[in-house]
Amino acid sequence: MSGAVTGGAVTGGAPGETAGAQQPPAVRAACALVARLVREGVRDVVLAPGSRSAPLAYAVAAAADAGLLTLHVRVDERSAAFLALGLARGSAPVEAAGGVAMPRPVAVVTTSGTAVANLHPAVLEAHHAGVPLVLLTADRPHELRGTGANQTTDQVGIFGSAVRLVVDQPAPDGRDGELRDLLAVATRALAAATGARTGAPGPVHLDLAYREPLVPVSALGAADVDPATAGVRRTGVVPALVSGPRQGWPTGRTVVVAGDGAGAVARELAEARGWPLLAEPSSGAVGGPNAVPAASLVLGVAELADDVEEVVVLGRPTLTRPVQRLLGREDVSVAVVAPAGAPWPDAARNAWSVLPAVPPEWLVPAPEVPAAADAEEADRRWPARWRAAARAAARVVDAATTGDRPTGPAVARAVAEACGADDVLVVGSSNPVRDLDVVLGVALAEDAADDRAHDAVSRTGRGAPRVVANRGLAGIDGTVSTALGVALAEARRGRRTRALLGDLTFLHDVGGLLRGPHEPHVDLQLVVVNDDGGSIFAGLEPGALGESSTAAGATFERVFSTPHGANLAHLCSGYGVDHQLVPDVASLRHALAAPSHGVQVLEIQVPRTDRRADAAALAAAVDTAVVEALAG
C-alpha cells in the first residue's frame, strides 16, 4: 500500500507563481501546501512547536486566523498525533468528487528529529484502524543529511509500511513550477489518506525539506493561504467504488459478527436475514432485536455455539477469545466483508470467501419460513433459541450490575446509561472495552429484567451512543488525547463526549491533559476506573499462574498487575483539570447526570483482587441461565 514519490507531476490547479513572491521559498511553499489542504477539505491541523517547521507554523497560523481551519497546539508530539487521530474519527465526512462522502483527513505538523519518531504509535493505530492522517514533518535539506547536522536523522521511511504513501519532498528554492509539483504531490497524498482510489484510508507522510530563511519577511495574511486568492483549485479525484457481487446468502445456521467499524449495515443484515448479531461496542451495529448481549459469555455455552455453521464477518473483530475460537473452527464457513481494496481481517486464517461489500440481495428481508418437515424444524427454531439465550444472559448481567458496588462492569453500565443515542463514548483498551461489551446491550434496554429486554431498543427507539475505541492495535497509548480530539470534533455537531478508561491508560497519556490557554475549549468527562494496576491480566493465563503459589503471586503482582499508587487528584490539579473521587456507582450516576464544563475526571476506585473471581462467577451464571433457557 505504501509508495515513494520525489517531486511530482504537474497535475491539478497551480497557484499563482508570483503570489507572495517577496517571501522566502520555504514560506511560499508552506503557504501553497496549506492552501491545498484547505481546498481539499482539511479543517483541523495539530501542531507541535519547532524551528525547522517554522514555515508550516506561520502558514497554518495564518490560515487559522483567517478562519479557514482550526489550529491545535500541543507540546508533546505523541499526544498531538493521537489528538489528530481523535479529530479525524470524530469529524464529519468531506464530499469528494462525484458527491461521494469520504473520511476527513487531519494534518499533524512537527519539526525534525525525535519529534517525528514520537508520531509512530498513533501512525500505527491509524494504519490498522484506517484513519486518515496527513503527517507533515519538516526536515533538513538533502545536502545536510548524513552530515551530523543538528536534529537530523533519516526520516524518509521512518514509519515503514504503516503509511499509505511517503513523499521525500526536496527543499524549495524558487524554481519555476515547483509549487505546481508540490500541489500535485499533496493531491496524491490526500487521495491516498482518504482511500479515494483504494478504499483503504490511512496515514500518509510528507517529509518536507526546508532551507533557511524559515520565517516570513512580512506578516502572512489570508491572501497567502486562502485557496481562492492563492490560485489553488481543487483536483477532482473520483473515488473508485466497488459494488458487491450478486451472491446467494448462506443457507446454514448463520450468525453475524460485527467487529470494530462494521457499521450499521451489520445490524441491517442481521435483521433482514433473521441472523443473531454478535456486535462489539465500537462496531456501530449494537442494538436491535437480533443483538445478543454479553455475546462473549453466551458463546461459552457449547450447546449453542456448536450449532453455528456459517459466520458473516464485518469490521475487524479483535475483542474476545470466544469469537476468535468460533471464527477458527474448521467446521464453520466464514465469509468476510472487506470494503474495496482494504485488507481483510482473518486472524484465524479460516475465511472461505472475501466479499468487497454486503451483496444487496442479502439485505432484502427474508420471507417467513413456512412450517417444514421435521428435518428442517431445528433450523427453523434456531433463531428462537438465540433469542432465548439473549434474554437469559441479559437477566443475569442485569442482576450482576445492579446496585452500588463498584465493579468494572457496573461502572461501564452506568456510563453507557448516562449516554444518549446522540452522544459519543470513547472507551479505552483492556478491561473497560470488555466490560462495555458485556453490559452495553443491557444498558440500552429500558427494563433488563423483562424477558423482552433485548428487544427494547428496537421497540422504544433507545439507541446506542457512538462508541469510539482505538482497536487498530488495541493499545492504551494516547487514549486521553484521542478522546479530546473526538470531543472537539463531535462538539461541532452538537454531540456530547464521555470517555471510559482504566487507571494505567489514563496515566500513560496523562500529558494529554496539558492544553495551553489559547487552545479551543473542549467539554469532556473522563471516567477513570482505578484498580491501582493492570487487572486485565487477572483474567488471562498469568492470573491463573499467579494463584498457584505465594512466589508466583508476588511475581504476578509486580510484573503484570504493576500497582502504581499514584494520586490522580494531585495529577489533575497540576494540569488545572477538575477531579472528583466518587465512592460508589450511585454517586457516579449522579456525577454523570450533573452539568459539566471543560475537562472533568471522575475517578471511581474498584478492588483489583476481586476481578478474576467476579468474571468467573458471571460467566458461570450466564452459562447456567442459557442452558436452562434452551432446555425450556
pLDDT band at 453 (very low <50, low <70, confident <90, very high): very low
- The pLDDT tens digits for 191-247 are 999 998 888 899 999 999 999 999 999 999 999 999 998 888 777 676 765 555 566
pLDDT at 4 over 50: no
Residues 62 and 218: their CA atoms lie apart, in Å, by: 12
pLDDT band at 6 (very low <50, low <70, confident <90, very high): very low
174: phi then psi, degrees, rounded to nearest 5? 95, 10
Burial class (CB in 10 A: 0-12, 13-18, 19+), 340: middle
Q: What is the mean pLDDT of residues 464-487?
A: 95
Residue positions counted in the chain? 632
Residues 461 and 445: their CA atoms lie apart, in Å, by: 10
pLDDT at 626 over 70: yes
Q: What is the mean pLDDT of residues 63-86?
A: 97
Where do the domains of the chain lie, and which CATH numbers do they carry? 4-230 (3.40.50.970), 247-366 (3.40.50.1220), 380-632 (3.40.50.970)
- The pLDDT tens digits for 334-382 are 999 988 777 789 988 888 888 888 988 899 887 665 444 454 555 568 8
Q: 231 or 506: which carries more pLDDT confidence?
A: 506
The Cα-based distances of 233 to 27, 48, 187, 410 in angstroms read 19, 28, 11, 53
Work out the number of other CB atoms within 10 angstroms of the CB of residue 177. Answer: 11
Q: Model pTM?
A: 0.89
- Rounded to the nearest integer, the mean pLDDT of the chain is 88
Residues 28 and 34: their CA atoms lie apart, in Å, by: 10
pLDDT at 459 over 50: no
- The pLDDT tens digits for 233-251 are 777 676 765 555 566 678 8
User: Which bin fits 249, alpha (ψ -120 to 50), beta or left (φ > 0)?
Assistant: beta
Q: Which of 123, 198, 192 is nearest to 155 (CA)?
A: 123
Q: Which residues contact 328 (CB under 8 A, 6 or more apart)?
A: 348, 349, 350
pLDDT at 617 over 70: yes
According to the model, what pLDDT value does residue 17 have? 46
pLDDT band at 454 (very low <50, low <70, confident <90, very high): very low
The Cα-based distances of 225 to 20, 220, 426 in angstroms read 10, 8, 34
Residues 208 and 27: their CA atoms lie apart, in Å, by: 12
Q: What is the mean pLDDT of residues 601-630?
A: 94
Residues 55 and 28: their CA atoms lie apart, in Å, by: 8
Q: Collapsing DSSP states into helix, strand and coil, what is residue 168?
A: strand
Per mean pLDDT, which range of 241-250, 516-525, 574-583, 623-632 is the poorest?
Answer: 241-250
